[in-house]
Chains A and B, each alone.
Chain A
Amino acid sequence: MNEVVDHKPLLTHEVGSLDKPGWRVKAYAGKPLDDKDLEEARSWGERLQVPKYERLLDLLRHTPFTKEQKAELQRWSSLYAVRLEESAGLDVVYDGEQQRTEMYDWAVSHSNGFERRGSVRAFDNKYYSKAAVVGPISLGSPFHNAEFSYLVSVAEAELKIPVTGAYTIADWSFDERNRTPENLLLPAAERTRQRKAARRDFVLEVARNLIRPNLEALITLGARWIQVDEPGASTEADELDLFVDSFNASVEGLNAMFSTHLCFSDYNLFFPAIERMEHCRQYAVGFANYDSRELGTSDEERPGYQVIKKFRDLPYKPALGLGVLDIHSDFIESPELVRDRVLYAVKVFGDPNRIHVTPDCGLRTRSWKVAYEKLRNMTAGVRMARQQLGLPSTE
């Protein structure tokens, strides 16, 4: 995979999540399915040419589902998602987290040392069940192995496995390893020093004792490209060095290609901290959300992409996963718009090998119909860019 990634210009891939089909969500929750759900399963099965999808339809007609049947339905959902991405023409695929609850809960559910504390808001009207770490952190059981093994068995394209990163897991958790509240009568500087030391210890414990063993298990199974998702990385501007240290502690010395996904932030904050993140071979970063929808390849016409120069200048020359699809909007980017965003990035980098093309972030906020159209136009735009750059076609 390293060779594929390092030497394939304008490689296309997804970033992480996809919406879960209604039939999968309802079936798993034990809710009744209706004709609309069955039609959704049928029409996408037909459209994506999912092998033997009629078996899924048979299964969906026989409610209630046993635990084993629910697991089977999750695998069907995985298969559909992989086929959607392959059908859209992506070079590297994944199943959009169809077998996971969500990116935080899934990791915590398979870990030791955490206790649930209740729901808190993540963003907008989205909530998640936040946990506290109350004791030593360790891996309960490798939590992506079953998913990865299944995907290997069905994917025709190359695979990439996203894993939630240590900094984000720690940042989205409470630290109750020491339950003594702060003494507010102590000097603030001393309290800050103690808080920072505890925080560092906490984040690195998650990296070493939870994330790293899970990565090792995936690599043993044959995973070659692992994307470390860190949406929380820029939450605390003064902790970017800690984020970098946690990434390095998670992956250093392991034999796979590691990339990271950063989203929706002031990306200038990451510099110079990530100059030390040399084990990261690719940064998948969202830019379309900040960009104009006008065509063109000048600086003025591509305001959302001005910061990419900083990624270009990183000393270890990673690839940039160039976000070209706004995942917060149903607006379908035209192939021409994708083309121009890609051509602009290639012009800035001067090397198409260092540009990969992706959505800004996981597409779970969009319907499959919108996600599919966006991804198809993304790959069409990349074909146009290849042609314009005189690069060989991948088809």
Chain B
Amino acid sequence: MSRFHTSPAGILRLYQPFLWLYPAEFRDEYRRELCLAFVDRWREERSIAGLLFVWFHAVFGILYQAPMEHYHMIVHDLRYAFRILRKDLSMTAAAILILALGIGSTTLVFSLANGLLLRPLPYPQPERIIAVTESSPKDPNETSQISFPNYYDIRARTRLLDDIGVYASAQWPIRGEGSAERVPGARVSDGIFRVMGLDPLLGRTISREDDLPNGPKVVVISEELWQRRYGRDPHILGKTIQIDEDRSTIIGVMPAGFHFPDRAEFWIPLHMDPAKAPRTDYFLRAVARLKPGVSVEQATGELQSLLEQIHRENPAVNNNWTAHAIPIRDFVAGTYRKAVITLLVAVALLLLIACANVCNLLLVKASARVREIAVRTALGATRRRLLRQLITESLLLGLAGGALGVLLAYAGIPALLSLIPVNLPLWMNFSPDSRVLGFAVAVSLLTTLAFGIIPAFGSAHADLTDSLKEGGHGGTSGARSKFVRHSLVIGEVALSVILLAGAGLMIRSFLALRTQDLGFHPENVLSTSLDWPETRYHDGPPARALLARLTAEVSSLPGVISTSFSSGAPLDDGWGRIFTIEGHPRDLKDMTFINHIVVTPNYFHTLDVPLLQGRDFTEVDFDTPHIVIVSETFAKKNWPNESPLGERLRFGPPKNNEPWHTVVGVVADAKHGAYKGEDRPSVYLPYSTDITPNVLLVRTTGDPLQLQQSLRSRIAAIDPDIVVSRVFSLEQIIARVSWQDRFLTVLFSAFAALALLLAAVGLYATISYSVSLGTHEIGIRMALGASVSRVRAMILREGMTLAGAGLLIGLVVAFALARLLKTQLYEISPNDPATYIAVLIVLIVVAALAAFLPTRRATRVDPVVALRHE
């Protein structure tokens, strides 16, 4: 003792702090020994250099050894954890599987969110790219587009935008040099390429001169098109390509992966004249690049004041519309945001249930380990050491579950994408990246914390003497742990009720959507876009003759009931126009849109839309073009008290003075533009020399898709240059326009089903466990003459009490939360009683089953065996 006190205490102060680098256990064990040895060594030296050497030697020793000690401890803990987990393989497998389901689902939804909302667009400085839109002050969602003259003026006046470009995407037939095909492309202004910030691989992009009203016919093609149609011909520049009717000269090739907008494979100039294009024609989309340091809000401010300025200069077209700047990612994927967030919340609830489930498993297991832990404590393991050991076990479970979960998510992505029937923009990438992996790791760690902490603390703090005395049944079977276990089960049930209610509402909403009255019968109708060479069949008699021939040929195919053409397939067409009723002049800013649909005779018959008043179109109407048939809503809205027959209306802004059209008939409302929500009223025009409709609609006796092959060959026989594309049944079109609802419903339901399963397993496990704890009691009761059914009822009551409590809490919370789903629901109230009743019934049935199964085991207890159980 004296030696320690005579030692230089000062130098110890320069040594001891480094001991904190050691794991606590090691430090507690050897701190004194290390200090003593250090001081002894110190006193051996006399020279300053020697003393310095001793200090450095000792400190570097710690710096080298302390991490090694940590490493040894971790390896030791892991080895021990492995042994423990291997000893109870079924419980380990169950825990890993449950965690994998939870973490996997979460990761899956996150990779969806990552692809849709988080991954940066593959363009330089994507945060500077914005969309520019004009919208009606009455309905901010009315358009996401811009008119050409407004774009033109904004481009000339902006100070905050580096550049702005407009585009209109479409598919055009490409003919010659190989088979004719319809290829997605875009008409663009020169600014598009500069806004996106990518240089061509070969040649140049469209210049401002190319885009003048009478500019040259040039085209920039994608690397993929270059590869597919030209085998990467190095001399491609200067060659021509037949796009629709025009031969355009190839001036550039964009690098692989550039497909803006959406899936475009080629780009041609707009060639629009700002002096001739109407200011209220919104069919272009605009993108712009902000100057460095300019915010989206500043850009919106500038755009709005520019548009006001333009309106002041052109009072005749002032419709009070306003301009907006929207970050490009929101513009493209903003509509998915709500759905994705809904799914993330759902999956987070599922993950919580999984955590509660594993937590419960560990608690049950902990009670079986009380002895082991008591023995280790008696042998001198500190509480901290035990805690660390237990958390290591949890961590191992969490990481194994996480790894398996990531694999599940990885496997699930193709299945998820197969639920999306439309072509998402090519740049959307859903494969797991470092962000997804980082997320999965973070979720696994959080999960570990969530499910591991309660059992670990419970076990590490269990009372030593009690545990040893109780012979392995003490510890967590005590009142406190019973309370924890029961609370967990109640929580699981409550969470699953919330998910079930959400899923129920979505299923009901989806069914309401899919069974809504469309006003026509989409079953057995095939829709096809046809593109014929317009030089051969220009509008007027040649096109009319072609349509007549096509109609006759297609109608003669076996199984065809009715054939017609329209300017757009129902629910796949958004062509809207503003209009004026004769005698009711309206200001431009008060005008509303109608669906403008050009059809051949037989259209209403083909779609099964009833004619309510007046007459249908006939072949003769081709030559009397200024007549229309209107939808019932349109008629009621505009001529509430008189017959619409003989009344007149015209299209376009008032100043255009388009010809008047006379109403000759009224048909029932049939949805044409919007599938979900309110559609615009429709006005139908007969085909004429002005417009030739090119969407072929065929009603068949059987599956319309069966007709595809014979239809294609019949059309090819008429003219092989007619390009057939977008061959869908109307039901496929409906599936395409409602995919988001279906997607959300399917995923949400899957998560709810999993949640229900996990909650049922949790309930079952808990009841089973209390039965096994209560074997003794059951034995006594049965020995005293309690009937089997009485014992059963007792156990069932315990289970149903837990389930009932969870159900009650879940229903209350679900009821409060359901409001958040409101915008996702179609014609179903978030408080829809049928849904909640269904949830109640499903849950009671499942809970009864989960609680009943353990009772069978209990009642098979032999009283003699049970009483000997101690």
A and B: real partners? no
